[in-house]
């Protein structure tokens, strides 16, 4: 399992998770089988991102049960931006 580092941005964390997930994909000549493995890697990416995300954005993403990585990242960014706005006020 991967965990977000203290000063790591959401985008950096996503890219680190994505890199790790895609390293697990074996290469096949069969395009259907290859597609299945990439879909599995995307599910692993979402699970790793969701589990490793820290703080309030992590809790909100876990509560929201996003269907895909884009939705999970959107939720995390929105919550993070809201926290930054609250600190400024």
Please give the model's pTM, rounded to 2 decimal places. Answer: 0.85
Q: How far is residue 76's CA from residue 13's CA, in Å, rounded to a whole number?
A: 11
Tokens representing 57 are 């954005």
Q: According to the model, what pLDDT value does residue 1 have?
A: 81
Cβ-based burial of 11 (10 A; exposed 0-12, middle 13-18, buried ≥19) = exposed
- The predicted-structure confidence for 44-89, as pLDDT tens digits, reads as follows 999 999 999 999 999 999 999 999 999 999 999 999 999 999 999 8
- The predicted-structure confidence for 15-24, as pLDDT tens digits, reads as follows 999 999 989 8
């Amino acid at each position: 399992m991967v965990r977000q580092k203290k000063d790591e941005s959401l985008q950096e964390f996503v890219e680190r998770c994505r890199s790790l997930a895609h390293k697990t994909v074996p290469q096949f000549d069969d395009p259907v089988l290859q597609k299945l493995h990439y879909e599995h890697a995307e599910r692993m990416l979402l699970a790793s991102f969701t589990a490793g995300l820290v703080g309030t954005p992590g809790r909100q993403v876990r509560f929201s049960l996003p269907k895909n990585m884009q939705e999970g990242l959107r939720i995390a960014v929105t919550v993070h931006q809201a926290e930054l706005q609250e600190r400024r006020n």
